[in-house]
Amino acid sequence: QQQVKQSPQSLIVQKGGISIINCAYENTAFDYFPWYQQFPGKGPALLIAIRPDVSEKKEGRFTISFNKSAKQFSLHIMDSQPGDSATYFCAASIEWGEGFGNVLHCGSGTQVIVLP
């Protein structure tokens, strides 16, 4: 059973546009929601993360919006650049968890293509 659902599977945006990726989760025990960015042939890299006690976190052009009641969160990439073209994975975990929570549950990934 997929713990985190991610959409869209892919998106194409013009340079300067906004890329939006959405994720939803079921397990209310999750309390740490990172986003990973992966370029072709490279390992994923932690991009930005949020905890459910805040509704929004911004780092540069990247913003996470979090809706705890809806169990949804999203990544917004403002002023998208060709260098942002990559696959983005949302994920969920229990920050100080053990056992079941001691794993990273990833969404299926979104391939973002930013046209010059």
Cα–Cα distance measured from residue 85 to residue 87, given in angstroms and rounded to the nearest whole number: 7
Least distance CB 108 / other proteins (angstroms): 6
Amino acid making up residue 51: R
Residue 33: count other Cβ atoms within 10 Å of its Cβ: 23
25 binds other proteins, rule: CB under 8 A = no
Residue 75 sits in the site that holds other proteins (CB under 8 A): no
17 binds other proteins (CB under 8 A): no
Q: What are φ and ψ of residue 36, in 5° steps?
A: -115, 145
Question: Which residues are at the interface with other proteins (CB under 8 A)?
Answer: 32-34, 36, 41-46, 49, 87, 89, 91-98, 101-104, 106-109, 111
